[in-house]
Amino acid sequence: MIDGENSVLPIVTFDDKTDWLALHRIAQPHLERAGLGRLVAALSTSAKCIAVEREYIDKDYRDTFSNFHSKRFSTPRSRCLRLHFFDREVTRAGFREACLDANKLEAVNDHYLGYSVIRPTKPNCIGRTLLTPASRGPASAFASLCSERVSILGTELEITGFPFISQDSDVTVCAESSLWMVLRYFSNRYRLYPETYPFQVVNLTKDYSLGRIIPSSGLFIWQMAEALRRVGRPPLIYSRANFPDFDHLLYTYIESGIPVLVGLREHVVVAFGHSSNFGATPPGAGTILTSAYNDALVVNDDNHVPYQLLHRTGAGSGAGAQTSKYNFKDIIDFVAPLPEKVFLPAESFQTVVTAILERSSEFGHKALSPSLQNGRLVLRLFLTTGKSFKKHLGTRKMGNSLVEEAYRNLPLPHFVWVCEISNTDAYSRHEVYGEILWDATRNAHEPNGWIALHYPEVLVVDMGSALNSEQNLFQFKLQDSTPYPLYKNNLQPI
Amino acid sequence: MDPNKIDLIPEQESKPEPVFTKPEDYEEFCRKFVEEVGPELEKQREARQQSEAEAKQRWMR
């Protein structure tokens, strides 16, 4: 059924007589066959109704239209279509009522799957897109997500997901598209970062380029890194050939809620989540880093559909649309755009924290924690803000009321590295026994960068750094500690 | 403000104890720590430089 086919906002509801081909027909001339195919691949299991917003002025396409397309003899249209997807029928009257009634608004919003802008660009018409991860079906994964508010017929809906855009092959190819996705995530999620449009993304590299920058023929990895630096996310570059713990470091940044640019052979995608099997104990007898549980990364590949899973092994050609054709071994390097005030990289944190935890005769778990000697140790490393760490103390309880209260009162830096300590049994229940907090604004060579060390039997805190003074370590003896929930704020389940 | 005189948890009955009672013990801990992590951190610095150099040759299109 199509409601208002000749209106500015036709609503297509799938039934016996109306399917995706009906959408293709009324979305002309913008929606070409390949674009329709990608929408079907992304949404065929979830979308039941599509509102087609005609004559939509898209800020991102208008940016490239003004700076590139409008300068051509043969110019495409300046306006776009925006498709809004729902998992059940919606009506014009329903939107009207939702404007006035909060319950009805919530009911409509609950069934909103997100939007996709359809640009008049060939060969790739899929423009700015924000779909809920639920649109792809369950992924059993965790991912960094951001939200936007969207207006349809005056009704304001909210959608949460990870931004996606396909290359237009003129102003943007995969390099610029991937940069745009990361930058749009940051501007949606944090007020600190301004919105950056596609031509502005291209311009971020103009001081690091030779010759012309449009039409784009691609970017070098280092140019992408420079673009990120210019927007206040100075990145670190890791290549597989040079870092033995490459997969673990990649996972650690993603687990920290930092989307990363993942370099494949002449192609780049954005990785912003992971799928892990916490039920299976990794082989071996030594300490387990939680990256060992990781089966797949959640990626946005501008040539495919949002929320693909890039598996550790397997996949390859012939896999479904929601599975990347690449696997971990195809990842050659990655670029991690860190917050400006994070000076301690993941690999250095791992080195210093394991030196304390596993080998220090004064502070190691063997010296201070008899209870941690039962079972195989599991370590989870991630970055977070001191503010966020404190925010969740009350719900997590930290295994001991004294620890919760001490952390609540302890001044913390803006960013902290956290090494959560668990064993295989507790970690399968998503519980931990303690943690080490390390000042992420420190230099790795400083032996006094750690802020707190918590085992079930003892809490050691540095009162010196808390008062901007020399390290001054105090210890609290703990009794009756219990395991407690791991920290879960960086990523959301999808 | 003297960190020894600050109460991390106000009105806490059991006071925390200093971990190191002698400054030379703390200095020894720091010395051993720097000595242990130094070589690994140096390898990481070289790996970073190498990665950045290779990034200049890696073209994404």
Q: Which residue type sits at A441?
A: T
The per-type count for chain B, helices as H runs and strands as E runs, is 1, 2
Q: Is A356 left (phi over 0), alpha (psi -120 to 50) or beta?
A: alpha
CB of B43 less than 8 A from some CB of A: no
Site from A229, A264, A473, A479 to mutate, B interface, most B CB atoms within 10 angstroms? A473
Q: What is the pLDDT of residue B39?
A: 96
SS3 A225: helix
**Angstrom distance (rounded) from CA A218 to CA A59:** 23
DSSP letter for A208, please: G
What residues 93-152 of chain A have any CB closer than 8 A to a CB of chain B?
A: none
Option in B4, B9, B60 nearest A268 (CB): B60
pTM of the model: 0.96
Residues of A in contact with B10 (CB under 8 A): 409
Mean pLDDT along residues A426-445:
94
SS3 A416: strand
Option in B17, B26, B60 nearest A219 (CB): B60
**Angstrom distance (rounded) from CA A54 to CA A265:** 38
DSSP letter for A302, please: T
Burial A222-253 (b: 16+ CB within 10 A, else e): bbbbbbbeebebbbbbbbbebbebbbbbbbbb
Any long-range contacts for A365-369 (C-beta under 8 Å, 24+ apart)? A365/A421, A365/A455, A368/A455, A368/A457, A368/A458, A369/A434, A369/A455, A369/A456, A369/A457, A369/A458
CB of A437 less than 8 A from some CB of B: no
Least confident of A235-249, A358-372, A461-475: A461-475
pLDDT digits 0-9 by tens, B17-49: 999 999 999 999 999 999 999 999 999 999 999
CB A410 within 8 A of CB B8: yes
pLDDT digits 0-9 by tens, A167-193: 988 888 899 999 999 999 999 999 999
Q: Which residues pair with A118 in a beta bridge?
A: A81, A126
Contact B9 A409 (CB under 8 A): yes
CB of B36 less than 8 A from some CB of A: yes
What is the pLDDT confidence band of residue A209, given thresholds at 50, 70 and 90? confident
CATH number of A188-337: 3.90.70
Site from A171, A201, A238, A239 to mutate, B interface, most B CB atoms within 10 angstroms? A239
CB A23 within 8 A of CB A48: no
- Burial of A69 from C-beta contacts in 10 A (0-12 / 13-18 / 19+): buried
Backbone angles phi, psi at A249, to 5 degrees: -70, -40
CB A399 within 8 A of CB A483: yes
Residues of A in contact with B11 (CB under 8 A): none
**Angstrom distance (rounded) from CA A125 to CA A109:** 26
Q: What is the pLDDT of residue B15?
A: 81
What is the pLDDT confidence band of residue B3, given thresholds at 50, 70 and 90? low
Structure tokens at A133: 């991860």
Tell me the count of A-B CB pairs closer than 8 A.
Answer: 143
Asked if this assembly's ipTM is beyond 0.90, the reply is: yes
Q: Which residues pair with A381 in a beta bridge?
A: A419
**Angstrom distance (rounded) from CA A81 to CA A60:** 13
Q: Which residue type sits at A152?
A: I
**Angstrom distance (rounded) from CA A272 to CA A280:** 23
Mean of the per-residue pLDDT values for chain A? 94
CB of A401 less than 8 A from some CB of B: no
Q: Which residues pair with A435 in a beta bridge?
A: A420, A454
Option in B3, B30, B51 nearest A238 (CB): B51
pLDDT digits 0-9 by tens, A153-164: 999 999 999 999
**Angstrom distance (rounded) from CA A332 to CA B58:** 10
Residues of A in contact with B48 (CB under 8 A): 236-238, 242, 345
Mean pLDDT along residues B7-21:
84
Q: Beta-carbon neighbour count of residue A148 at 10 Å?
A: 16
**Angstrom distance (rounded) from CA A73 to CA A83:** 29
Contact B41 A444 (CB under 8 A): yes
Nearest CA in chain A to B36: A355
CA distance to partner chain B, nearest, from residue A154 (Å): 40
Contact B51 A332 (CB under 8 A): no
Contact A406 B51 (CB under 8 A): no
DSSP letter for A274, please: E
**Is the per-residue pLDDT at A362 higher than 70?**
yes
Structure tokens at A381: 């490393």
**Angstrom distance (rounded) from CA A93 to CA A377:** 58
CB of B1 less than 8 A from some CB of A: yes
CA proximity to A407, closest of A464, A461, A467: A461
Nearest CA in chain B to A352: B37
Q: What is the pLDDT of residue A257?
A: 98
**Angstrom distance (rounded) from CA A163 to CA A195:** 12
Domain with CATH 3.90.70 in chain A: 188-337
